Amino acid sequence: MKKTSLDMQNKVHQQITEYKQVVASDSYRLHYHIMPPVGLLNDPNGLVYFRGKYHVFYQWNPFETSHGAKFWGHYTSDDLVHWEEAEIALAPDSWYDKNGCYSGSAVIHNEKMYVFYTGNVKDEDGNRSSYQCLAISEDGFTFEKKGPVIHVPDGFTAHYRDPKVFHHQNKWYMVLGAQTEQEKGVTVLYSSSDLERWQFHGPFAGSGLNGLGDFGYMWECPDLIEINGKNVLLVCPQGLLARGFAFQNIFQSGYFGGQVDFDSLSFKHGDFVELDRGFDFYAPQTMRDEKGRTILFGWMGNAEEADVIQPTVKHHWIHALTIPRELEWKNENLYQHPVEELQQLRLNEVYYPDVKFNDDAGISLSDIKGNVFELLVEVTYIQATDFSIEIGASLRISYNAKEKVFTFEREKLNQSKAFESRHCHLEQLNSIHVYKDASSIEIFINDGAVVFSSRVFDASNSEEITFKVNGHIQANVTKWDLKRVTC
C-alpha cells in the first residue's frame, strides 16, 4: 500500500507555482472548460459522483507540454460548472506504473472510491508492459495504491489498457481496450464480485467480431453504458482509414448501439457511429450521476502528431476537456446535450425572434458578437441553398441545403491563414447550438444529434459574427455571453 510521496507533490506544486502567471497571461486560456494548471492534459479519467461532489480526474503531464509519464490530476465540483483543483490523485512512482498512471475509471463500493487504471512500464529498450491496477480512497482525495489486479493474458500485446468498471445485477464488470497478437483492436471483458479478483471472459467486441470486419489495430478507452434500455459501447479505434466524410482525424472516437446478453456475455450491435465530427475530440468517458443522468466528458485533443503547432505551448499548457454533456438515446442515435447547469454561465441575453434572412451576403445582428459566448439558432423556415455563420476571422460553419452537407471550417493551426474543414451529411437543419470559449468551439446540431468540437486560435481579436444566406431562412437567434469560472 502506497500513498503519493510528499516529494512528488512538492515537485508538482513548484511546477504550478512557477508557471501560474505564464499560463494566466495566455489570451487563449479557457474561461469555463477544464484545462491543466500547467503542462499537458489528455483523457478524462475516473468520472464519479461521491459524497455530494463530481470528481473529474484527468491524464496529466505537469512537467511538459508533451506526452510522458502521466499523473492523474484531479478537479471536483458541486455543480459541473465551478471546478476546484485538488491534490494529484496518482503519481507514476511505483514499479508497476513508473512510465505513467494511464487512463481508467472509478466506482464507489462500501463508501470508498475504487479507481482502476493502467500502469504503463517501459524497460531500457523501450519494451512496454501493462498492468491493470487498483487504488482505493476513503475520502475521494488521497489514494492508497494496491498494485496490479490484472496481468496481460496470452494472445494479447502490451497495448492492454484503460479499464472502465461498472455494476450490473450484483456483479462488477470491466471493459478494457486491447490489441490481439494478430494486431486487431478489441474490447475485452472481465467480471468480479469483490473488485479485487477478476475473471477474464475474452474479447467482447472488436475487429473481426460480432459481424464486424477489420476495424483497426487497437481499441482504446472503451466504456459500456446502458441508456434508455439500450447498451452502448463507446470506444476509440485506431487505424481506420478515412472514408468520404468519415474518420478524418488520426484516431477515431465513436459508439456501437446494441444489446448485451449478460448470461452469454455477448453483444449484438449495429454500425459504428462517430461521436463527434470536429478536429479535436477523443477518449471520452461517462459517469452516472445521482440524478440518473449519463454525463460525458471528452478530451478536446487527438493524436500526438497534431500537437506541435498549438500556440498555448508557449504558455506552458496544452489541451482541455469538453464541456459536460448529458447523453440521451433516441431515434437509434446517441444525442449529446450540454448539461443544464451550464445555463448558470449565461449573461446578457440577446434574443431575436424570427429573423428573416433573404439572400444576405453578410449581415450581423447588433450585440450578436463575442469571443466567449453561447449562441442558439433555431431554424423555423429554410429555403436556402447555403447558410453560413462566420465567427471572428478563423471560424465558419455552414449548411448547404441542396447538397445536405454541414461544414465546419477553421483556420489551420500553423498560422498559414489557410483553412481546413470537416463535413457531415445532414438531411435537415433544425438548430445550431454553439458553445464558444476563448480557444475552443463545440457545435451541437439538431439538439445534439451531431456534434463538432475543435480548438481554434484566432489571432485577429475579431468578435464579429456574420450570417450569410443564399436563399431564405427564418430563425430565432439567441446569444449569451458566458461567465469566466476558471481562475
Which residues of the shown chain bind ligand FRU in the complex (CB under 6 A)? 42-43, 59, 70, 102-103, 118, 161-162, 220-221, 282-283
> What is the greatest pairwise CA distance in the chain?
69
Alpha carbon 199 to its chain's center? 29
Of 300 and 397, nearer to ligand FRU (C-beta) is: 300
Q: Are 233 and 253 in contact (CB under 8 A)?
A: no
**Nearest approach, Cβ of residue 253 and ligand FRU (Å):** 9
**Nearest approach, Cβ of residue 331 and ligand FRU (Å):** 29
Smallest CA-to-CA distance from 336 within 216, 435, 264 is with 435
Of 221 and 456, nearer to ligand FRU (C-beta) is: 221
Of 39 and 370, nearer to ligand FRU (C-beta) is: 39
Let me know if 354 is a catalytic residue. Answer: no
**Nearest approach, Cβ of residue 158 and ligand FRU (Å):** 12
**Nearest approach, Cβ of residue 301 and ligand FRU (Å):** 8
| Selected catalytic residue, list 7, 26, 43, 458 | 43
How many other CB atoms are there within 10 angstroms of residue 464's CB atom? 14
- Produce one character per residue of 238-266: b if its CB has 16 or more CB atoms within 10 Å, e if not: bbbeeeebbbbbebbbbbbbbebeeeeeb
Q: How far is CA 95 from CA 92, 99, 148, 442, in A?
A: 8, 9, 10, 40
Of 103 and 439, nearer to ligand FRU (C-beta) is: 103
**Cell triple for residue 338?**
450540454
**Nearest approach, Cβ of residue 106 and ligand FRU (Å):** 15
Quote the CA–CA distance of 29 and 314 in Å, as a whole number. 12
Quote the CA–CA distance of 103 and 161 in Å, as a whole number. 7
Of 423 and 455, nearer to ligand FRU (C-beta) is: 455
Quote the CA–CA distance of 289 and 436 in Å, as a whole number. 26
Instruction: Report, as residue numbers or ranges, the catalytic residues.
Output: 43
